[in-house]
């Protein structure tokens, strides 16, 4: 049976939960368009996160890989456009690593674009009544590291891949008043839409999703 691999991250920066994993795990074993979803948790650690991801890819040979990550402060489902070949950690990862200006893949290209149909995905999520937009940067921490490594790994395969950032959970926003949040139900629905669209839409649609800066 064909599989989709969806990943979420373990908690980081002292948090008790990470809503990216809480959402991803809801989709484990779900069938979407005849394809089985498998959810895996990634450590929030440079290097190791990619090892765990690559093992899962070897094991499952998925037709689609979507990494999900938390972007505290963002207001909507943000589908990343591009990953860049650099690690620059503002804070230490969960193993205490804090690389500064190190390439992820020594001889890799400067960046990889997501191979997901990002515009079709945000369009479908919006049609479901959930705010979504394109993000032009996945940062330079473990999320970008995983997205770049994932796209590098799959660069010669047909499997599509990309990363989707989600807002804080309501529970996190209660602890830090003023933080935008999104309910888990909306996040899970949005991820379902993303998987469904990525499995069926061959060529991305033409929809404005840029930023002036």
User: What is the rounded distance in angstroms from the CA atom of residue 85 to the CA atom of residue 12?
Assistant: 22
**Binding flag, residue 132, a copy of itself (CB under 8 A):** yes
Helices (H), the chain: 19-26, 48-60, 118-127, 142-153, 170-175, 184-200
List 22, 165, 168, 192, catalytic entry:
165
**In terms of CB distance, is 1 or 91 closer to a copy of itself?**
91
**Binding flag, residue 155, a copy of itself (CB under 8 A):** no
User: How many helices (H) and strands (E) would you count in the chain?
Assistant: 6, 11
**In terms of CB distance, is 26 or 140 closer to a copy of itself?**
140
Tokens for 64?
């689609």
Alpha-carbon distance values, 57 to 96, 102, 157, 159, 194 (Å)? 26, 25, 12, 10, 19
**Binding flag, residue 138, a copy of itself (CB under 8 A):** yes
The gap between the terminal CA atoms of the chain, to the nearest Å, is: 43
**Binding flag, residue 160, a copy of itself (CB under 8 A):** no
**Binding flag, residue 207, a copy of itself (CB under 8 A):** yes
Point out which span in 3-11, 24-32, 47-55, 109-117 binds a copy of itself (CB under 8 A): 109-117
**Binding flag, residue 25, a copy of itself (CB under 8 A):** no
**Binding flag, residue 75, a copy of itself (CB under 8 A):** yes
Residue 143 annotated among the catalytic residues of the structure: yes
Q: Which residues of 168-195 are buried (b: 16+ CB within 10 A; e: fewer)?
A: bbeebbeeeeebebbeeebbbbbbbbbb
User: What is the rounded distance in angstroms from the CA atom of residue 137 to the CA atom of residue 194?
Assistant: 19
**Binding flag, residue 159, a copy of itself (CB under 8 A):** no
- By CB under 8 A, name the one of 181, 191, 192, 198 that touches a copy of itself: 181
What are the residues binding a copy of itself (CB under 8 A)?
Answer: 13, 69-72, 74-76, 81-82, 84, 86-91, 98, 100-101, 109-113, 119, 126, 129-134, 136-141, 143-144, 165, 170-171, 173-174, 177-181, 183, 186, 204, 206-213
Q: Which residues are known to be catalytic? A: 80, 143, 165
């Amino acid at each position: 049976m064909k599989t989709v691999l969806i990943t979420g991250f373990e908690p980081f920066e002292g948090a008790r939960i990470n809503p990216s994993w809480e959402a991803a795990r809801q989709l484990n074993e779900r069938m979407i368009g005849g394809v089985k979803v498998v959810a895996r948790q990634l450590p929030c650690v440079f290097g190791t996160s990619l090892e765990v991801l690559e093992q899962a890819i070897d094991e499952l040979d998925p037709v689609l890989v979507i990494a999900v990550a938390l972007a505290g402060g963002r207001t909507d489902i943000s589908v990343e456009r591009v990953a860049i070949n650099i690690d620059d950690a503002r804070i230490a990862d969960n193993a205490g690593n804090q690389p500064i200006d190190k390439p992820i893949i020594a001889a890799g290209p400067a960046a990889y674009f997501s191979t997901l149909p990002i515009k079709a995905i945000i369009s479908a999520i919006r049609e479901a009544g959930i705010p979504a937009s394109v993000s032009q940067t996945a940062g330079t921490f473990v999320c970008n590291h995983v997205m770049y490594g994932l796209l590098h790994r799959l660069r010669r395969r047909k499997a599509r891949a990309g990363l989707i950032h989600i807002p804080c959970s309501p529970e996190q926003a209660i602890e830090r008043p003023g933080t935008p949040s999104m309910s888990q139900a909306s996040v899970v629905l949005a991820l379902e839409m993303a998987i469904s669209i990525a499995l069926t839409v061959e060529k991305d649609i033409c929809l404005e999703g840029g930023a002036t800066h």
